Amino acid sequence: MGSVVWTATLALLGLNGAYLWQMVRFRGAWERQVALGEEVKKKPLAIEVAVAATEASRASGENETPGFSIIVAARNEADNLPHLLHDLQRQKPISGGVELIIVDDHSTDNTANIVSQAEQDLPFPVRLVRLAQLPGAPTGKKAAVQAALQVARAPWVLLTDADCRVPAGWVQAYAELAAADATARFISGPILLTGTGWLATLQGLELAGLVGVGAASIGLNRPTMCNGANLAYRRADFFAVNGYQGNEAVPSGDDEFLLHKLHATFPGSIRFLAQEAALVRTAAQPTVHQLLRQRVRWASKWRHYQTAAPQRLAVLVLLSNLTFPVGVGLWGVGVASGVGLLSAWALKLLADILFLRPVLRFLGQPQWLWWVPVLQLAYGPYALATGLLGLRGSYEWKDRRLGAK
């Protein structure tokens, strides 16, 4: 075996060896997050006492500040919004109660009328904010969140998307963690993709990995990612770090840019809520075309990261996923060993299975583990393509052309 073959083979093995080491660390951090979630569930007494005090104050006619302001940005979500409103109506009580703020982002369907009806039907305050009626008629999720924060009254805000479904204990799970941990300032929650068929399964498996990595990196005090469909933070802290200032021109990133800012300003204050009661569900993209549009939107923010941890992780994951297709090419021209290539692929497969196994068990989808080899074979070219398209900064979403012109 020539020196060039040795060098190429060792490079493939070394890269995936580093990836395996990182996934073993992440698995340990994930399992600690789940254990912490169980500990919080065992401390419900403070919440029960606070709820009882809230009910007493309401009986006496006091106008108490809500415990959480739920914020939902909606654009043409008339089909999905009623399901979310039904879920919110079933929420378990928390100290101070909740208020709901829905921001209509220039919808052309019946979204606003549905919210207006909800103001009459729901047992807590509901407020509709229309971006079209604000000065400058701003657009996009960042504008929607900022508009909601201007009118929110609670010390904590809890965000989800209009096309999501939330369990009855969703708000209560966040309230329990906020009450149990006075140092928490930003709480990220888990997401599960729903749907049937191979495409939905592969999407769900991919997102499970992202959820797991996000939780593990938070556990290691190096937060990298989260999902804007399930997170909470202190309202005052948004303004303390000047909100989205510095990344206003990037349409996406309303979640992760804020995560990175808060971690930099308040180190050690980021938490992950690893509880089934906090698990938010949303439907997978129905077609490959829509999936790619969504993933390009996600990828468009990567080049704007200001912190090193998510950048290093993104590079490691991309290179590791490219080892198989690149290795096949090198083997085909006689530059890499076939045995070395298979060994490198086995290291990558072992790393993903070791890490994803407990994550999928938590999400209630252990059968998805059988799809890991399939996803691994396709993921390298897929990740490279979406990453390169994301670098353009231009994409279509919600019937809008966004990003660079």
CA dist 249 and 98 (Å) reads 32
The single-letter DSSP state of residue 249 is T
Q: What is the mean pLDDT of residues 80-98?
A: 96
More confident residue, 400 or 252: 252
Note the pLDDT of residue 181: 95
pLDDT in tens, 14-45: 999 999 999 999 999 999 999 999 888 776 54
The single-letter DSSP state of residue 327 is H
Is the pLDDT score of 307 beyond 80?
A: no
CA dist 241 and 219 (Å) reads 22
Is the pLDDT score of 78 beyond 60?
A: yes
Note the pLDDT of residue 331: 84
More confident residue, 309 or 127: 127
List, in order, residues 6 or more apart from 388 with CB less than 8 Å away: none
Note the pLDDT of residue 207: 95
Cβ 66 vs Cβ 99: under 8 Å: yes
Note the pLDDT of residue 208: 97
Dihedral of alpha carbons 98, 104, 105, 107, sign = positive
Tokens representing 18 are: 């580093």
What residue type is 45 in one-letter code?
L
Q: What share of the chain is helix, strand, coil (3-state, %, to 5)?
A: 55, 15, 30
Is the pLDDT score of 63 beyond 60?
A: no
Note the pLDDT of residue 52: 43
List, in order, residues 6 or more apart from 308 with CB less than 8 Å away: none
More confident residue, 57 or 368: 368
Note the pLDDT of residue 400: 59
Q: Among the ranges 116-120, 194-198, 383-387, 395-399, which has the highest mean pLDDT value?
A: 194-198
pLDDT in tens, 387-405: 777 666 665 656 655 555 4
CA dist 210 and 224 (Å) reads 10
List the single range of 95-109, 343-357, 372-386 with lowest mean pLDDT. 372-386
Note the pLDDT of residue 40: 83
Q: pLDDT-derived band of residue 339, with 50, 70 and 90 as boundaries?
A: confident
Tokens representing 137 are: 């008629």
List, in order, residues 6 or more apart from 285 with CB less than 8 Å away: 199, 203, 291, 294
| pLDDT averaged over every residue in the chain | 88
Q: pLDDT-derived band of residue 54, with 50, 70 and 90 as boundaries?
A: very low
Q: What is the mean pLDDT of residues 170-180?
A: 96
- Range 28-296 classified under CATH 3.40.30.10: no
**How many CB atoms neighbour CB 4 within 10 A?**
12
Q: What is the mean pLDDT of residues 302-317?
A: 78
Is the pLDDT score of 315 beyond 90?
A: no
Beta strand 400-403 with 394-397 is: antiparallel
pLDDT in tens, 266-296: 999 999 999 999 999 999 999 988 888 887 8
10 Å CB burial of residue 357 (0-12, 13-18, 19+) is middle
CA dist 67 and 104 (Å) reads 23
Cβ 366 vs Cβ 204: under 8 Å: no
363 three-state secondary structure: helix
Q: What is the mean pLDDT of residues 103-115?
A: 95
Note the pLDDT of residue 101: 98
The single-letter DSSP state of residue 371 is G
Is the pLDDT score of 80 beyond 90?
A: yes
Note the pLDDT of residue 296: 80
pLDDT in tens, 363-386: 999 999 999 999 988 888 887 778
Is the pLDDT score of 112 beyond 90?
A: yes
Note the pLDDT of residue 326: 84
Largest CA distance in the chain: 85
**What residue ranges of the chain are covered by domains with CATH 3.90.550.10?**
28-296
Is the pLDDT score of 301 beyond 80?
A: no
